[in-house]
Structure 1
Amino acid sequence: MRRDAVELERFYHSPRGETAEAMIWRRISVLWPDMRDLDVLGLGFAPPLLDRFGDQPRRSVAFMPGPQGAIIWPGGEAKSRTALGDECRLPFPDALFDRVVLLHALEEVDSIPAFLREVWRITAPQGRVALIVPNRSGLWARGDATPFGHGRPFSKSQLQDVLADSAFEATAWSRALYAPPFTWCCKGARGEFWEATGEKLFSRLSGLILVEAVKRVAALTPRAARAKEIRIRGLEGAGARTVSRGGKPASRTSRTDNP
């Protein structure tokens, strides 16, 4: 069951949420240092990161799935740029966005292939997608006190398979959020201390995995298929034979009928 958008907003105003946002932003700002004149879409619950981009993008939109609900973003007197709907039927034209951020998105969807097909469709050719997901080996995925403990966590190899099946190619990998998911560990400079220590001593135990992927538009290479022999019963008046998956005879057993 998805966390409500109001709960997610409340989390990002807590010490743990502020630390998570800061550690994610450290990686995103390195990947995408210049967002000027780009169209940006945030999927799931991405306002904390969209706020960090400021006024650089030409257009920024926050799309939130119906079961999660939505908050008004940005707040204040600015016009709302929040959309609410079906994440597997995004209400945007093809190839519209140059950058897409997925936060609290991939681990919560009912159908990953259908969702990523839509993400592929609305991403511009050679557009970039940033996927931020809970790490299966990390502490943050092992408890439900934070949003990262809900939905399905991922390993790096699982993410690689997901991207390969969705016509995206990974271009950069990173990890973030090494502080244990306790409030006292995330207050003030403690989060930065855990981050620096974790990167050096236990890099695979990060709370989050981040991957940047590019939309592939060239001809796709299908996965290699291995022929498998299947023995079938011979037709009437013919001997039993073994055929490969492609349908070509592999061997034949002759039979002599008694007169």
Structure 2
Amino acid sequence: MMRPDVIELRKFYHSHLGGVVRRALVRKIRHLWPDISNFRLLGLGYATPYLFPFRSETERTIAFMPAEQGVIQWPHEGPGLVGLADEVSLPLGDSSVDRVLWVHGLENCRFTDATLHEIWRVLTSSGKLMVIVPGRRGVWARLEKTPFGYGYPYSDKQLKRILRQNHFTTSDVAGALYFPPSGARMNLRAARFVENLGERWWPGFSGVRIIEAEKQIFALSEGAKKERRFRPVIAPAARPIGAGRSMGRDASESD
């Protein structure tokens, strides 16, 4: 399955359109997770643009990016908090994180069940997963000009089914990105207004679907325990060759 590489993702979030997308989704994340004080937060896929606003609140915030995508340094200042990892074998202990944010991941995932099992393993007993994925009925999934145009878009029913099949209890699905995937100045200026209209009048036609799921407790089989006995060592992140300097404060914070 074709997926955008880390350079394409970084370039998108440095664009004006990417900045508007980031702010729109951060508002949604904040609405669903209003208080994550002293929690351990893990970002998967390419979640770093959405992690920065929460770093000062959490006990710790880290991110893993899949090998097929690549990895870049984050944050720009201070110790690195991101690394390259196998999605089906995360280098974390059991019940070691409280919240997982999965962005630009599920729609491109080759081993969905195995990855969700691994997310389930590293979450605490009261841990929660938030998935942001392109919506099947939205226009964003139909155009490859943004990272949301890659992979397999999901309907609400499909999202809930795959999470329940992998031992998560789900809540209602929310939408975001009702404005068109265009960098035109008028479109970006009207984005907040269109978002409010979309939420009220056509909630099922958003560009992305957002769902929160809670870990369902059950006993692991002996076979599953054996499969997860060994964990690889995390590979440190490095800057991509040819990557330029940050493009302003907002862009550097979003990497």
Which residue is 1:43 aligned to? 44
Deviation sequence 1:100-158 (CA, Å, 0-9, x none): 00000111110110110001001111101100000000000001110000010000000
CA contact (8 A) 2:24 2:177 kept: yes
Report how far residue 54 of structure 1 moved: 2.9
Percent pairwise identity = 40
Which residue is 1:101 aligned to? 101
Which residue is 1:12 aligned to? 13
Report how far residue 24 of structure 1 moved: 1.0
Report how far residue 171 of structure 1 moved: 2.5
Report how far residue 186 of structure 1 moved: 7.0
CA contact (8 A) 1:116 1:166 kept: yes
Q: Secondary structure of the equivalent of 1:145?
A: coil
CA contact (8 A) 1:172 1:211 kept: yes
Distance 1:43 1:195, change over 3 A: same
Which residue is 2:139 aligned to? 139
Unmatched 5+ residue regions in structure 2? 221-255
Alpha-carbon RMSD across the aligned residues, in angstroms, is: 1.5
Which residue is 2:22 aligned to? 21
CA contact (8 A) 2:17 2:188 kept: no
Which residue is 1:75 aligned to? 76
Which residue is 1:31 aligned to? 32
Counterpart CA distance in 2 for 1:219 and 1:92 is 19
Q: Secondary structure of the equivalent of 1:101?
A: strand
Which residue is 1:117 aligned to? 117
Which residue is 2:206 aligned to? 206
Report how far residue 99 of structure 1 moved: 0.4
Report how far residue 201 of structure 1 moved: 2.3
Letter of the structure 2 residue corresponding to residue 192 of structure 1: R
Unmatched 5+ residue regions in structure 1? 221-259
- Are 2:149 and 1:158 equivalent residues in the alignment? no
Deviation sequence 1:176-228 (CA, Å, 0-9, x none): 000011111675531101101212222211000000000000579xxxxxxxx
Which residue is 1:64 aligned to? 65
Deviation sequence 1:31-68 (CA, Å, 0-9, x none): 11112111000000011111121311111111000010
CA contact (8 A) 1:88 1:114 kept: yes
CA contact (8 A) 2:134 2:140 kept: yes
CA contact (8 A) 1:65 1:84 kept: yes
Distance 1:142 1:210, change over 3 A: same
Q: Secondary structure of the equivalent of 1:50?
A: helix
**Greater C-alpha Rg:** 1
Distance 1:43 1:186, change over 3 A: farther
TM-score, structure 2 normalization: 0.82
